[in-house]
Amino acid sequence: MRLLVAAGGSGGHVYPALAVLEELQRMGELSAAAWVGTEKGIERKILSRFPWIDFYPLPCRGLDRSRPWSWPGSVWANLTSLVQAVQILRKFHPDVVLGMGGYPALAPLLAAALLRIPRAIHEQNAYMGLANRFLSLLADRVFLSFPKTGGVPVRRKVVVTGNPVRREFLTQGTGSKAQELLIVGGSQGSRALVEATLRAAGALAQLGGLRVRMQVGNAADPDWVKRRLEEAGLSDARVEKYVDRMAEALSQARLVIARAGATTVAELAATGRPAILIPWAGAAGDHQTDNAQAIAKEGGCVLVPEHKLKEMDLGKLILKLWMDEERLRRMAQAVQRVARPQAARAVAQELLALAKGSR
């Protein structure tokens, strides 16, 4: 099968699509792969490690709701992207086009509809985003991560597959001496998590053997954060802009503090890592809270609303969990009950059926 993926903007859109492509490869069903994204998005950097995927950048842009004067430029960029997407599809001749949400998926899925190429979308979050709500009207299949996903306009096309994670998360295992506190704020980083960690650093320094590993994205300078942690007594802290080997990082984590993006939730479930989840309050439809609740109701995480982060003692909460071995074990077991380890295969099989049905 020749598959074209349309995804970008964040790792949460990119990594599930990679999991599907790799699964199709493993099944011996992928003859060619292409990817449409943005020139400056994180997808370009990630895909540079996968030379077998042809990458096509588009000038598409999202609508910035805080800057309405920029909308005419965004509309023009997206119209230009649609013309280019039609040309890309005619050149690549995909059997199926798979959109993973976000504005980079709009032009390729619209082009696929115009050219009558089978098309599917995947919604990673527990509440469907605006782009996917529109594209679901044009899609032949709508894949969902959560059975009770909100905001889905058309239910008759829905297949609940779970959120695909790459196989390395399913096979990594947990380090026998996992003693790291892993703090991740999503691919773009989180200033709120950086500040909360710095406030908690003094308390964390009291724990012998604890090592902090922190991913800050664009939220802060890694060297500056590392100096602040060292000043608080955490001399062995590891601070990075981006964690390339997340499966390995999770395997070494005794406890994780993170946002509640859908891919983060799926990776925590796949690896069985207990977590403190702090959903991003600015997420559309508050979908990160819904994502976190899918784990919290099973007992697999502690959910902390962002508005409570400044007033609470995060260090005290971390210390309480860190020293409660039995609770961490129960949380690890609970979060694994949410996992859907066959999600990538489920999506791959649906795409194959969609491609065969069009021939």
pLDDT tens readout for residues 279-304? 998 887 788 999 999 899 999 999 99
Residue 210: the pLDDT is 87
The predicted pLDDT at position 286 comes to 85
Residue-level pLDDT at 98: 98
Predicted local confidence at residue 265, as pLDDT = 94
Range of the domain at 32: 2-165+341-357
Band (pLDDT 50/70/90 cuts) for residue 45 is confident
pLDDT one-digit tens code per residue, 185-202: 877 889 999 999 999 999
Give the model's pLDDT for residue 208.
79
191 and 223 within one domain? yes
The verdict on 20 and 139 lying in the same domain is yes
**Does one domain contain both 146 and 45?**
yes
Q: Which of 86, 306, 331 is CA-nearest to residue 190?
A: 306
Output the pLDDT for position 113. 97
Q: Are 134 and 12 members of one domain?
A: yes
Model pLDDT, residue 285:
76
Query: CB within 8 A of 217, min separation 6: which ones?
Result: 185, 186, 187, 188, 189, 190, 241, 242
Does 189 lie in the same domain as 321? yes
Nearest to 311 by CA among 207, 196, 170: 196
pLDDT at 353: 96
Average pLDDT over residues 157-174: 88
243 in the same domain as 147:
no
**Confidence bin at 257 (pLDDT 50/70/90):** very high
Residues 175 and 324 in one domain: yes
Mean pLDDT, all residues of the chain: 91
> Are 278 and 192 in contact, with CB atoms under 8 Å apart?
yes
With a cut of 70, say whether residue 359 has pLDDT above it.
Answer: no
Are residues 268 and 160 part of one domain?
A: no
Is the same domain home to 157 and 224? no
The whole-model pTM stands at 0.87
Segment 118-121 long-range contacts (CB within 8 Å, at least 24 positions apart): 118/354, 118/355, 118/357, 118/358, 120/96, 120/350, 120/351, 120/354
- 201 and 263 belong to one structural domain: yes
Top-confidence residue, 79 or 265 = 265
Checking if the pLDDT of 14 tops 90, the result is: yes
Residue pLDDT, tens place only, 322-335: 999 999 999 999 99
pLDDT at residue 358 in the model: 60
* 305 vs 280: CA distance, rounded Å: 8
- Domain harbouring 316, CATH code: 3.40.50.2000
pLDDT over threshold 60, residue 4: yes
> Which residue would you say has higher pLDDT here, 119 or 68?
119
- Please count the structural domains in the chain: 2
Quick: pLDDT tens for 208-225. 778 999 999 989 999 999
The answer on 244 and 152 residing in a single domain is: no
d(CA 136, CA 44): 26
159 and 141, same structural domain?
yes
The mean per-residue pLDDT over the stretch 57-85 comes to 77
